[in-house]
Chains A and B, each alone.
Chain A
Amino acid sequence: MDDRKIQILIDTLLPLLKAGVAFTIPLTLVSFAIGLLLAVLTALVRLSSWRIPKLIAGFYVWVIRGTPLLVQLFIIFYGLPAVGIILQPFTAAVIGFSLSVGAYSSEIVRAAIISIHKGQWEAAFSVGMTRGQALRRVILPQATRVSIPPLANSFISLVKDTSLAATITYVEMFRTSQQVVATTYEPLLIYSEVGVIYLLFSTVLSTLQNYLEKRFDRYSAS
């Protein structure tokens, strides 16, 4: 590699990292937080006995899981203006990613809740708890532990998926790298560089995942 290329790499590293920290990471965090909330809600509704809400939740998961994320983002950002709903790129991206996380992770949360032994519900009921209390105090804390590894996977996928926001004009890290390519004419170099930064982010998150799993390992599942 010649000196010019090395110089380009060094010069572009900071702007790319900045875009990652200022745009990719916030987009990921906000979308995941809202998505997780949606996921828990959806899981609880699907486990409940409310007929109509159950149907709606099932429909939501079916549609989101059955269509490409890219198509969903295009509908939200390019499609909705046709019916008068015009969204900022960031807002559109957050909506798209949250809905996606919500649908996929609701299955994780649902499976985790079901995996908790029925005896735990009964023990909670036997001390006089309502369903809600049992869920909050006994079931969800245990389900959380079960669902950390698969949820961490969703989170890491999301970091990478946010690059799709580039297609709806949100200038996050990947779109920044496209702009850099346009001025440097070094696609191999720059796209590899941005790939390495995504790898760095994922690795940090995996480490965090290990830490969380250890922390929750104070007790072993019964």
Chain B
Amino acid sequence: MIEIHDLHKSFGSLEVLKGINLKLEHGKVLVIIGPSGSGKTTLLRCFNLLEVPNRGSIVLGDTKLDFTNVKKVPQKSVLELRRKTGMVFQSYNLFPHMTVLGNVMEGQITVQKLPKEDARKRALALLEKVGLSEKADSYPHQLSGGQQQRVGIARAMAVEPEVLLFDEPTSALDPELVGEVLKVIKQLAAEGMTMVIVTHEMKFAADVADTIILMDNGHILEQGTPQEVLVHPKSPRALQFLNRLSGEAE
């Protein structure tokens, strides 16, 4: 279970997160939507401390971190949180000097200290799951964007995180490659993987989300089931955002 309480984050004098509260049960999928610059990426990056919040707290399983009046988060807590989360990046960020298999094995070997053979077995199983068994010995630059992103998902899964974080996993992809990545994410959702996903793909969001939050200007504007947020939003601003999106889609 993840619980975030009164989270604040500023870059210099710019306050980007202005008190975020949310809860996510194990096995559920949370989708974050909202206009550009509303703080979606920043919030997601707070989950694994790529950004360190200025105030508030994060609880993930038995790891509890309070940032209020804390100067420097202890390295031990940072690592603990990062080992319980996996992240899939918009621009994949695969390790270009390692093969696909190497990318997926790396965290298991360096971080979890697994024997090579065990790491290889788990990596191959994950590659099969994302449909890339035959690419195990390729290098990332030899793959299409969609394939690279699926490797990114396998890499994030390999360290057996409690939560997977996605930051617009398909927005760098050519339209015809979006489907193959979304399919993998949907499959993970069906298997009960806990996930937090930032996306602009509204149809996908409606399909996969248990909860959607709509962010605006550092606040959570709407929070609820896809039905509640996408079909019956309460605030006029949310309605405006959703209308603009569906306008663009047509």
| Chain A contact residues, CB within 8 Å of chain B | 117, 119-120, 122-130, 133, 137-138, 141-142, 145, 218-222
- For window 93-134 of B, CB contacts with A under 8 Å fall at 93-97, 106-107, 110-112
Using A124-B95, A125-B48, A220-B141 as known contacts, list a sample of 10 further A-B pairs with CB atoms less than 8 Å apart, ordered by residue number in A: A119-B89, A123-B89, A123-B155, A128-B83, A128-B107, A128-B111, A130-B79, A133-B110, A133-B111, A137-B106
Residue of B nearest to A216 (CB): B97
Given A141-B97, A219-B96, A219-B97, answer yes or no on A127-B86 (Cβ-Cβ < 8 Å): yes
A125's contact among B50, B106, B141, by CB below 8 Å, is which? B50
Give me 17 A-to-B residue pairs in the complex whose CB atoms sit less than 8 angstroms apart, sorted by A's number: A122-B89, A122-B93, A123-B87, A125-B48, A126-B86, A126-B156, A127-B82, A127-B159, A128-B107, A130-B75, A137-B110, A142-B96, A219-B139, A219-B140, A221-B96, A222-B96, A222-B141
The count of residues in chain B whose C-beta lies closer than 8 Å to any C-beta of chain A is: 28
The reply on B199 being an interface residue by CB < 8 A is no
The 4 closest A-B pairs by CB, nearest first: A127-B107, A126-B87, A123-B93, A119-B93
A127 touches B50 (CB 8 A): no
B50, A218: Cβ atoms closer than 8 Å = no
B194 interfacial contact with A, CB 8 Å: no
Contacts of B48 in A (CB 8 A): 125-126
User: Within the complex, what minimum Cβ distance (angstroms) separates A72 from chain B?
Assistant: 36
Known: A129-B110, A142-B96. A218 touches B156 (CB 8 A): no
Whether A127 contacts B111 in the complex (CB less than 8 A), given A122-B89, A137-B106, A145-B97, comes out as yes
> In the bound complex, do residue B110 and residue A120 qualify as a contact, i.e. CB atoms below 8 Å apart?
no
Measured CB to CB, the closest approach of chain A to B104, in angstroms, equals 10
Contact A128 B159 (CB under 8 A): yes
- Which residues of the partner chain B approach A141 to less than 8 Å between Cβ atoms? 97
CA distance A142 to B94 in the complex (A): 12
Q: Are B82 and A125 in contact (CB under 8 A)?
A: yes
Is B91 interfacial (CB 8 A cutoff)?
A: yes
Check: B211 CB closer than 8 A to any chain A CB.
Answer: no
Q: How far is the CA of A176 from the CA of B86 in the complex (A)?
A: 63
Q: Which residues of B contact A145 (CB under 8 A)?
A: 97
B170 within 8 A of A: no
Q: B149 contacts the other chain (Cβ, under 8 Å)? A: no
A residues near B75, Cβ cutoff 8 Å: 130
Tell me how far the C-beta of A132 lies from the nearest C-beta in chain B, rounded to whole angstroms.
Answer: 10
B42 interface residue, CB < 8 Å from A? no
* Interface residue from B50, B79, B94, B97 paired with A128 (Cβ < 8 Å): B79
Contact of B85 with A by CB under 8 A = yes
Chain A nearest Cβ from B36, distance in angstroms: 20
Given contacts A126-B156, A145-B97, A222-B96, contact A119 B110 (CB under 8 A): no
Return A34 CB to nearest CB of chain B, in Å: 26
> Which residues does chain A contribute within 8 Å of B83, judged by CB atoms?
128
Q: Are A119 and B91 in contact (CB under 8 A)?
A: yes
Q: Are A138 and B95 in contact (CB under 8 A)?
A: yes
Q: How far is the CA of A58 from the CA of B82 in the complex (A)?
A: 34
Whether B97 and A129, one on each chain, are in contact in the complex, defined by CB atoms closer than 8 angstroms, is no
**Least CB separation from B148: chain A residue:** A222
Q: Output the least CB separation between A151 and chain B (Å).
A: 17
B86 to chain A, nearest CB (A): 7
Q: How distant is the Cα of A141 from the Cα of B106 in the complex, in angstroms?
A: 14
Q: Give the CA-CA distance A119 to B93 in the complex, in Å.
A: 6
Cβ 8 A contact of B50, one of A117, A122, A137: A122
- For B139, give its contact among A119, A129, A218 (CB under 8 Å): A218
Question: How far is it, in angstroms, between the C-alpha of A120 and the C-alpha of B140 when the chains are bound?
Answer: 13
Of A120, A128, A218, the contact of B95 (CB 8 Å cutoff) = A120
* B171, chain A: closest CB distance, angstroms: 15
A-chain residues with CB within 8 Å of residue B93 when the two chains form the complex = 117, 119-120, 122-123
The smallest C-beta distance from B197 to any residue of chain A, in angstroms, reads: 15
B:130-156 near A, CB below 8 Å: 139-141, 155-156
The docked-state distance in angstroms from the alpha carbon of A142 to that of B141 is: 14
The interface residues of chain A lying within 8 Å CB-to-CB of B158 are 127
CB atoms of B96 and A220 under 8 A apart: yes
When chains A and B are docked, how far (Å) is the Cα of A141 from the Cα of B82?
Answer: 23
Residues of chain B within 8 A of A122, CB atoms compared: 50, 87, 89, 93
A118 → chain B, closest Cβ, in Å?
9
Please, which residues of chain B bring their CB within 8 A of the CB of A119?
Answer: 89, 91, 93
